[in-house]
Amino acid sequence: MAGRLLAIALLAAVAACVPVGNPPTDAPAQSPAVTSLGSPSQAVPSPQPTPPLVTPRTTATAPPPPTDAPATDAPASSEPMPRDALMTLPDGTQHAGALGSYFYGGAAADSPWLPARVLPALEAPAGSSLVLSVPPLEFVSWGARYADAADEEADVISPLASGGDGATPLESATLPAPPSGSWVVAVQLYFAQEEGDATYYWHVTVP
Amino acid sequence: MNRRRTILAAILLVTAALGGQASADTPTPAGGATWAPNQQVNYRWKAGAEPPNWLRPAINAAAAGSNASKASQAAIFAYEAGAQSWIGYTADIPTNYAVGYAVRHVPDSYNIRLRPHGHVLDWGTLRWCQFYDNPPNGCYDAELITLHEFGHVQTLGHVDESLGEPWLDSIMHAGPRTKAKIGWNEDEFGRCDVARLQIRYRALTPSTPYSTCLALPTTLTLAATSTSVAAGQSVTISATLKVTGSTTYAKLADEPISDRQVTLQRRLPGASSWTTHAHMPATSIEGRYASVISPTTTYDWRALFSKPANEGLNGSTSAVIRVNVSSCVDGVCCTGPICVTAAEAGISDQTGTKTDESEGPWQADY
């Protein structure tokens, strides 16, 4: 464990040395209205403070609050599900991730590693930092991994960054952009108050 | 920049390697209200969305696999016509990525949904291995997916994939694998799934081995029916083995641990090394072990529980008890330099049978 902590500390130190762009310091307190799209799309950079938001979610229902409350034959769409996770680029554009597997509020869905062709695409400057958030939810730990976009089976998955102590609620997390290339980036979050976990995916291209 | 990337990649590799090593003992995360101990929560097929006949055996096998491998007082699952909970074969799943879905309504019921074979999702076409006589690579094992959903019903979440935990430690991965990748057709909970079930539901019985994904501290206490006896007189020494009360897992605190190997050791007073006297047999009391000794000289005694190789318990050693042995000659019993009359020592005769009464020792005149 000590070794792992040391490695994480080293990683954090190195990540801190990676040049960053202009991480948004005035991220909006409230997310823009979520639009529902049926296919991956491109985000269009725009000036702050009203960053565009793109989401690939294939359902448009607002998730009810987490609960183990009784239900019987209710449609699955009425069950709890995590909010959209947003990846904010240095230019302020925000991209909603594709929601993969989750365990949240008494409901759980299980998806494979998602291929790049179904994911929201974004281009991150080399060496930049990406900011992750799931407004208004807080999370206590997170871990990011990435695989070559061409590797649809995700036979080789590499760790990118991780953080959180498992107890202290976080409103956002900053992770380094992956190396140059075309990648699927998956971020797994553990929500505060043991509400569960969720994995979100993006197709990230780094020139 | 390239140098920075190289350094970063190296650090990431180190992190991954250390993560795999350090995280090998991370119980699967969980959350939400638990079922009652050993609650039987049966399922039926959802009306109008009944699984096809080729799929049902895999579902029932998953339920059996959960029951057989939970090693805890987690819920018990079985098919029962008319049950409140149901399992459906339906595309009514919130995202167009998921192959399986579970909702639990503790303490009453749960629902499990399996996406139909051939359904076209955003990422591709779902294929269940059970559909085929000779399953092709790339199909999903319905038994594993259903067992995974039963895991969610038991309140298990997904493992933290960033820790690099060995894949087979859990079936609760955030991305299920297809044939023929490692772990694609597991049919029982992984050891770190079992660990969390034991944390949340207690072990099935005090004799049930604890998952090796745990490292529970234990406490061993020792007692003797008498600590001052005549030579050859019988004394029963009892040891009690429990999970330490201060463990971070509240439900496991002070849980008795039965049917393990507890060793009784002794040494001469003042000696530093211990020798094994006997393995203490388990008694009918949970967590209790006992041996009857008939010492002919004074010894210090202790019990020892060595860390087992096959389960997640740490070893422990009891406090030391000294059993003083008196030698009686002509009605005078001496323990070292201290001598009393047999009557005062509570010993009825020179064979060392102890009586009901005794008084304090007196100094012999040597």
Residues of chain A contacting B33 with CB distance shorter than 8 Å: 68
Residue pair B202/B37 in contact by the 8 Å Cβ criterion: yes
Phi, psi of B199 (to 5 degrees): -65, -40
Q: pLDDT tens digits, residue range B233-283? A: 999 999 999 999 876 899 999 999 999 999 999 999 999 999 999 999 999
ipTM of the complex: 0.83
According to DSSP, the β-strands at B100-105 and B43-45 are: unpaired
What residues have CB less than 8 Å from B61, skipping those under 6 apart?
B143, B187
Q: pLDDT tens digits, residue range B67-111? A: 999 999 999 999 999 999 999 999 999 989 999 999 999 999 999
Token pair for A187: 């971020």
C-alpha closest to that of A170 among A144, A193, A204, A201: A193
Q: Which helix (H) or strand (E) holds B7?
A: helix B2-22
Q: What are the CA-CA distances from residue B17 to residues A146, B10, B159 (Å)?
A: 16, 11, 17
Nearest to A159 among B16, B152, B175 (CB): B16
Eight-class DSSP state of B181: S
Nearest-CA distance from B241 to chain A in Å?
A: 28
What was the pLDDT predicted at A72? 60
Residue type, B44: R
Nearest-CA distance from A118 to chain B in Å?
A: 6
Phi-psi region of A93 (alpha: psi -120 to 50; beta: other; left: phi over 0): beta
What was the pLDDT predicted at A60? 34
What was the pLDDT predicted at A194? 86
Beta strands in chain A (DSSP E): 53-54, 86-88, 94-96, 98-104, 107-110, 121-123, 129-133, 139-148, 158-163, 172-176, 181-191, 196-206
For residues B51 and B115, give the distance between their C-alpha atoms in angstroms, rounded to a whole number: 10
Closest-CA residue of chain A to B33? A68
Contact (CB<8Å) A188/B160: yes
**What tens-digit pLDDT sequence spans chain A (207 residues)?**
344 433 444 333 333 333 322 322 222 223 333 222 333 333 433 333 444 454 444 443 444 444 444 446 778 888 899 999 999 999 999 999 999 999 999 999 999 999 999 999 999 999 999 999 999 999 999 999 999 999 998 999 999 999 999 999 999 999 999 999 999 999 999 999 889 999 999 999 999
pLDDT of B313 over the 60 cut: yes
Q: Is A197 within 8 Å of chain B by CB?
A: yes
Residue type, B147: L
Closest-CA residue of chain B to A144? B162
Residue pair A106/B105 in contact by the 8 Å Cβ criterion: yes
Contact (CB<8Å) A3/B109: no
The angle that helices B56-69 and B142-153 make with each other, rounded to 10 degrees, is 50
Least confident of A42-46, B62-66, B195-199: A42-46
